[in-house]
Amino acid sequence: MQEYWKNEPIRCLIGRDEICRMVRRLAGEISADYANLVETEEPLVMVGILKGAAVFLSDLVREMSIPTAMDFMAVSSYGASTTSSGVVRILHDLGSPIQDRHVIIVEDIVDTGLTLQYLKQHLAGREPASLHVCALLDKPERREVAVDIDYLGCEVPDEFLVGYGLDLDERYRDLPHVAVIETAGEGEGS
């Protein structure tokens, strides 16, 4: 397999092995916190935010030791830009109701917090039994609104990131690691 990114202006920030360790740790924490769901036979609803979180969510649920159900939402606040417009639009909503269900929003990266704040308010209105957030990456330097991240992989610097689901105009999502793209400027990929 040719690794097309070898000649691209990117540098590895978080390697595949470190990502695997983070995913296993997060899956363990979530599984321990929701172990009582095994007795209720009610799976934990993991809501992946498309497209960026799809890779992370897939790896995360495979490491879980409790029953999970996966659902997805697609939202937009970036378009083809490298910075958020601040206006969140729902492009694809959940396929199943979440009332009285335990729900975790799964994000690839939290940046300004605007999208996550909107999602939490939107989903809380559907009356889940509980609503928490799991994010692989966090850029606290760019935060515009306070948001709680209940399960976090790690903090990252304020650089434009790609790989492991993060993209630049739909490129680089397939990288097995998280990389900094040297020419993109500030912001985030997702």
Tell me which residues are annotated as active site: 111
The secondary structure of 100-146, three-state, reads CCEEEEEEEEECCCHHHHHHHHHHHCCCCCEEEEEEEEECHHHCCCC
Quote the CA–CA distance of 115 and 75 in Å, as a whole number: 8
DSSP letter (8 states) at residue 43: P
3-state helix, strand, coil in the chain (%, to 5): 25, 30, 45
Largest CA distance in the chain: 51
**What burial letters (b/e) apply to 18-54, b meaning 16+ CB within 10 Å?**
ebeebbeebbeebbebbeebeeeebbbbbbbbbbbbb
Question: Please, which residues bridge with residue 133 across strands?
Answer: 105
For residue 88, give every residue at least 6 positions away whose Cβ sits within 8 Å of its Cβ, in sequence order, or none.
75, 76, 77, 114, 115, 118, 119
